[in-house]
């Protein structure tokens, strides 16, 4: 029962610029809710700490992010996997971002993710996770838009 979420945003920047942002993991990672401590481990591989907050529960994951496929300026695919800290749980996710022109100065970004929780978390966390994944996806979209457009005007996301 992997959870699929998707969404899209439109940003007021040309596609090449939007793509440049998206293919730069340190910048992209700042948009993922709860993601911090991004460290490069090798070409296309990064480690990070993902903190998921759901109601009164907080669960931290030590994850590895692997960029699988870079296809400028169309899209990027990534794989995220890791273990929960302090309880037996594992997250395995794939994420895809696709970019399309919307005129010269606008880009439409579509993102989709598929996230599976396993371990103890996978057993009991599903419905809660599902309910919050929509919110998290929306947050990601909002963050991304702000960051890409904010960058253009010189403000830091």
Partner 1 sequence: MRRFELNEPATLEEAIGLLDPDDPGVRALAGATALIPMMKSGVFQPTRLVSLRRLDGELRGVHEENDGGLRIGAMTTLSELERSPRLRASVPVITRALRTLSNVRIRNVATLGGHLGHGDPHMDLPPILMTLNARVRAVGPKGHRWIDMTDLAVGYYQTTLERDELIADVHVPGQPSGVCTAYAKFTALSADDWPTVGVAAWLQIEASQITEARIAISAATERPVRVTATEAILTGGPPTTETFATAAEAAADTAETLADIRGSAAYKREMIRVYVRRALAQALAVRDTGN
Partner 2 sequence: MATREAEPLSATTSAPIEAPAEDAPDRDHPRFREIGRSIPRLESAAKVNGTVEYIHNLRLPGMLHGRIHRSTVPHGRIVRIDIAAALEVEGVHAVITAEEVLKLVPHPYYGPAFHDQPILALGKVRHVGEPVAIALADDPHAAEQAADLIAVEYEPLEAVFDEVAAASPGAPVIHDVLKPAGTFTDLKHLAGRSGTNVALDTHVRRGDVEQAFASADHVFEHTFRTGKVMHATFEPMVSLAEPQGPSGLTIHTASQSPSFVRSEISRLLGWPENRVRVRTAFLGGGLGAKLYIKLEAMVAVCALLLRKPVRIALTMDEQFYTITKHGATVRMKTGVRRDGRMTARTVETYWNGGAYADIGPRVSQKSGFTAAGPYDIEHVALDNYAVYTNEPPAGALRGFGISQLVWAYERQADIIARALGIDPIEFRRRNAIRNGQPFATGTTVSGLEIDAVLDRLAERMAWHEPFDRGTGTTRRGRGIAIGLKACVAPTSSAAAVHVYGDGSCAVQCSTVDMGQASDTTMAQIAAEVLGIPTTGVHVVHPDTDVTPYDMATLGSRSTFHMGNAVRRAAEDARDQLLRIAAGASGLAVVDLECVDQAIRSKPGVPKFVGMTFREAMLARFGMQAGTIVGFGSYTPSYVKPDAQTGQSTDITPFWMLGGAGAEIAVDCETGRIEVTKLVNVADVGRAINPASVERQLTGAAIMQLGFTLFEEMVFSDGQVVNASLADYKIPGMLDIPQDLQAAFVEVPHRDGPFGAKGVGETGIFSPAPAIANALYDAVGVTTFDMPLTPERVLRALREMERRPLENDR
Q: Residues interacting with partner 2, by CB under 8 A?
A: 1-2, 83, 86-90, 116-120, 122-124, 126
Minimum distance from residue 50 beta carbon to partner 2 (Å): 16
116 touches partner 1 (CB under 8 A):
no
Residue 68, interface with partner 1 (CB under 8 A)?
no
Rounded to a whole number of angstroms, the minimum distance from the CB of residue 123 to partner 2 is: 4
Select the residue interacting with partner 1 from 40, 41, 74, 88 (CB under 8 A): 88
Nearer to partner 1, 68 or 131 (CB): 131
Q: Quick one: which segment of 23-31, 42-50, 91-99, 115-123 binds partner 1 (CB under 8 A)?
A: 115-123
Q: Rule CB under 8 A: say whether 124 interacts with partner 1.
A: yes
Between helix 126-152 and helix 15-22 the angle, nearest 10°, is 130
Work out the angle at residue 77's Cα, subtended by the Cα atoms of residues 120 and 47, and round it to the nearest 5 degrees: 55
Q: Whole-angstrom Cα distance, residue 52 to residue 91?
A: 11
Verify binding: residue 126, partner 1, rule CB under 8 A.
yes
* 4 lies in the binding site for partner 1 (CB under 8 A): no
Considering the rule CB under 8 A, would residue 8 count as an interface residue with partner 1?
Answer: no
The site for partner 1 (CB under 8 A) is made up of: 53-59, 86-88, 120-121, 123-128, 130-132, 135
């Amino acid at each position: 029962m992997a959870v699929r979420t998707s969404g899209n945003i439109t940003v007021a920047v040309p596609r090449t610029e939007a793509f440049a942002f998206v293919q730069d993991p340190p910048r992209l990672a700042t948009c993922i809710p709860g993601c911090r401590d991004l460290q490069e481990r090798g070409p296309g591989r990064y480690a990070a700490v993902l903190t998921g907050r759901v109601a009164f529960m907080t669960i931290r994951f030590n994850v590895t992010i692997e960029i699988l496929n870079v296809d400028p300026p169309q899209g990027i695919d990534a794989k995220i996997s890791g273990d929960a800290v302090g309880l037996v749980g594992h997250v395995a996710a794939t994420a895809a971002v696709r970019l399309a022109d919307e005129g010269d100065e606008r880009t439409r970004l579509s993102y989709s993710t598929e996230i599976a929780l396993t371990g103890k978390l996978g057993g009991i966390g599903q419905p809660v996770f599902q309910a919050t994944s929509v919110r998290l996806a929306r947050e990601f979209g909002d963050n991304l838009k702000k960051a890409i457009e904010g960058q253009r005007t010189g403000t830091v996301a």
